[in-house]
Structure 1
Amino acid sequence: MKIKTISMAVVLAAGLSVDAMAKEGVDGYPNGAESWMAGAVPPPGSYFLNYFGHYEGKLRDGDGDKVPGTSVYAWFDALRFIKMTDTKILGGDWGMHLIVPVVHQEVKLGGDSKSTTGLGDITFNPIIIAWHTKNLHWTVALDLNMPTGKYKSGDPRESIGTNYWSLEPIFAATWLSDDGWELSGKFMYNIKRKNKDFRPAPGAPKMDYESGDDFHMDYVVGKHFGPWAVGLSGYYLTQTTNDKLNGDALSSALGPWSNGRKGEVFAIGPSVSYTNKSGMMFIGQWHHETEAENRFRGDKAWFKLVMPF
């Protein structure tokens, strides 16, 4: 590591677990958001989706062990607006969407907690292309995640947004058998820019922090019974590149973190959906994170509404 980075090691050894909350705990994308019919984008028209949920967890280090005195307790509500058009691109339906999240969180670090409420990072996607066959549906898309969320440099307890731009290519697919079995997955790769306002602690000088890119996916496997469906859903995330501070990969010498501070988590839980005669879909699910490293591990409860205009 460079001399300038080494000179911050003592400060970071105390403060890096704090940054882990903002960087590895509160994700820009609410993992597990898409389950039933994830690859089956609806036909041309306008749609409103609402994702309401609760998350509670404790921070884990690079060995998966609890970091004492750290926890997060959060409520979130994401409003998503989809417009699918009659325009065809490569034979698929073209559309776009906008996602606006609002978050309330209480974060404890070293036994001291603070709560905050505010706007999260807004996502805009101008490219959704969807194809359909009798049993198979698939979609490609490109999300742009914008740093609109509330952010306080040096104190992640008061930060909701990531404070960096990111670009996210997406592929989603749904297989639905003639007798009602469904297998759906949404696969994403998050390419992140630098956070140039990072402070390891309040009052410390600003530094460039670059969170590592990650691959993550949502999934569901289950069975439809008329308007109802029941199954198992969840998510998996693994960080593919190192976190960097002023251009250098973070070292395990800075604390109980694996080299590069690469995060990983897996979650699974029950999911149920109901679709009424007007086409509105209601989804309820609970996700338990069974394994996690360099990020929070906990439980997430969801209620999702899909409503055509």
Structure 2
Amino acid sequence: MTRSAAFALLATAACLAHATEGGGSTYPRGVENFRVGAVPPPGVYLLGYGNHYAADKFIDGQGDNAGIPGFKVRATAAVLRGVWSTKTEVMGGNLVFHSIAPLVNLKVSAAGNSQSKSGLGDITVGTGVAFHHSPQLHTVVGLDVSLPTGDYDQSNLANIGLNYLSVQPLFAVSRIDPNGLNADLKLTLNLNRRNKDTDYRSGNELFADYSVGWRLGNGWTVGVGGHAWQQLANDQSGGADVANSKTRAFALGPSLKYDNGKGWFFTAKLQRDMAVRNSTQGTAFWLKTSIPF
């Protein structure tokens, strides 16, 4: 990847989409943790997420530091997610609706230039069907849509929106044992549309958010978590493929959860990017909590 291409990628770096066109995603990689496949019983729930991401490197397609002078990304987000778990049955599961609204503060620096932006990022809406196969095994099949609602200008160094729509079919599974192994996996296929302002289309991607831990019997679960990210096709600019533009990354770090057994829980994890191609390499800290109504 050329230096000019790398700068183009940095233009829309964001907290919940760490890279950009040619190397990023509308999907918030690594966002999910324990209980991702276990939708709560029918009712209305408010979930809160907190995230801080810091990166000082942009990794090119060969796995080398692109060497962009003074490159830094610092992003913090507070995210509200409303979930309506209905009593409507579909194929033995219950119908679920949700929406996600991120408030983002982003600062990007590169080659002596710096810019900060704050505001509402790209909103996600979605629906799915939640299945409870046993007290230990739970799954979700769903479809999310990421909407281009965040502020965007192709001349900016920092953008909190990505300016294109993405459709996200997903599957999640959770194994929950009150005194043993807990494991979770969420698979998301991210189907990206074109950025009309730049005539650029990011290639479709596959994400896997995962966690594995051990429930200690007193409400606490300790383990590890992270994500894997693989872009399935090259980006396109003006309808033509952009060579060597596929992104990939893997992240791993410690993870924990506390559950009071009455519908309230929180999770926390720290994860470090590794095996990165065509994206930023940094460290993310995530918090998540659920409040039933």
Contact preservation (8 Å) 2:178, 2:215: no
Contact 1:150 1:160 in 2 (8 A): yes
Deviation of the 1:40 alpha carbon: 0.8
What is the CA deviation profile of residues 65-123 of structure 1, one whole-angstrom value per residue up to 9, with x for unaligned ones?
12222221110111100001000001101010000001111111223111111111000
* Corresponding residue of 1:49: 47
Change (3 A) 1:154 1:14: farther
Q: Does 1:103 align with 2:91?
A: no
Counterpart of 1:238 in structure 2 is 230
Structure 1 residues 138 and 97, CA gap change in structure 2 (3 angstroms):
same
Partner in structure 2 of residue 18 of structure 1: 7
Give 1:50-199 correspondences, 5 Å limit.
50-57=48-55, 58-67=57-66, 68-69=68-69, 70-125=71-126, 127-134=127-134, 135-155=136-156, 157-177=157-177, 179-198=179-198
Kindly provide the amino acid, as one letter, of the partner of residue 210 in structure 2: Y
Count of residues in Structure 1 that have an aligned counterpart in Structure 2: 279
Q: Distance in 2 between matches of 1:26 and 1:42?
A: 31
| Structure 1 unpaired stretches of 5+ | 1-11, 199-207, 252-258
Higher deviation after alignment, 24-33 or 286-295: 24-33
Q: Can you list the C-alpha shifts for 1:266-291, whole angstroms capped at 9, x where unaligned?
A: 00000111112532111111011122
Equivalents in 1 of 2:264, 2:178: separation in Å?
Answer: 22
Contact 1:145/1:167 (<8 A) preserved? yes
Q: What's 1:227 paired with? A: 219
Q: Which residue in the other structure is 2:249 paired with?
A: 265
Aligned AA (1:55): Y
Partners of 1:158 and 1:268 lie apart in 2 by 27
Paired position in structure 1 for 2:16: none
Partner AA of 1:181 in structure 2: L
Alignment of 1:27-38 (within 5 A): 27-38=25-36
| CA offsets 1:51-77 (integer angstroms, 9 cap, x no match) | 101001121111121222222111011
Give 2:209's aligned residue: 218
Tell me how far 1:224 sits from its aligned partner: 0.8
Contact 1:76/1:104, CA 8 A, preserved across alignment: yes
Amino acid at match of 1:148: T
Is the contact made by 2:106 and 2:116 (CA closer than 8 Å) also made in structure 1? Answer: yes
Q: Can you list the C-alpha shifts for 1:187-231, whole angstroms capped at 9, x where unaligned?
A: 000001000102xxxxxxxxx101111000100000112211000
Given the two structures, how large is their TM-score scaled by the length of structure 1? 0.86
Structure 2: how far apart are the matches of 1:53 and 1:227? 23
Distance (Å, rounded) in 2 between the aligned partners of 1:50 and 1:28? 19
SS of alignment partner, residue 289 of structure 1:
strand
1:178: Cα distance to partner?
6.7
Choose 283-292 or 174-183, whichever is displaced more. 174-183
Tell me, yes or no, if the aligned pair for 1:189 and 1:213 is still in contact at 8 Å.
Answer: yes
On the 8 A contact 2:27/2:190 being kept in 1, the answer is: no
Amino acid in the other structure paired with 2:237: L
**In 2, are the aligned partners of 1:26 and 1:160 still within 8 Å (CA)?**
no
In the alignment, residue 224 of structure 2 is paired with which amino acid? L
Corresponding residue number in structure 2 for 1:299:
283
Q: Give the SS at the match of 2:8.
A: helix
Q: Which has the larger radius of gyration?
A: 1
**Could you tell me the TM-score, scaled by structure 2's length?**
0.91
Distance in 2 (CA, whole Å) between partners of 1:13 and 1:268 is: 29
SS in 1 for 2:197: strand
Name structure 2 gaps, 5 residues minimum.
13-19
SS in 1 for 2:7: helix
Cα pair 2:94 2:129 within 8 Å, conserved:
yes
Note if contact 1:233-1:270 (Cα within 8 Å) is conserved in structure 2: yes
Please state how far the C-alpha of 1:154 moved relative to its aligned partner: 2.6
Structure (1/2) with the larger helix percentage? 1
Q: In structure 1, the residue corresponding to 2:213 is in which secondary structure?
A: strand
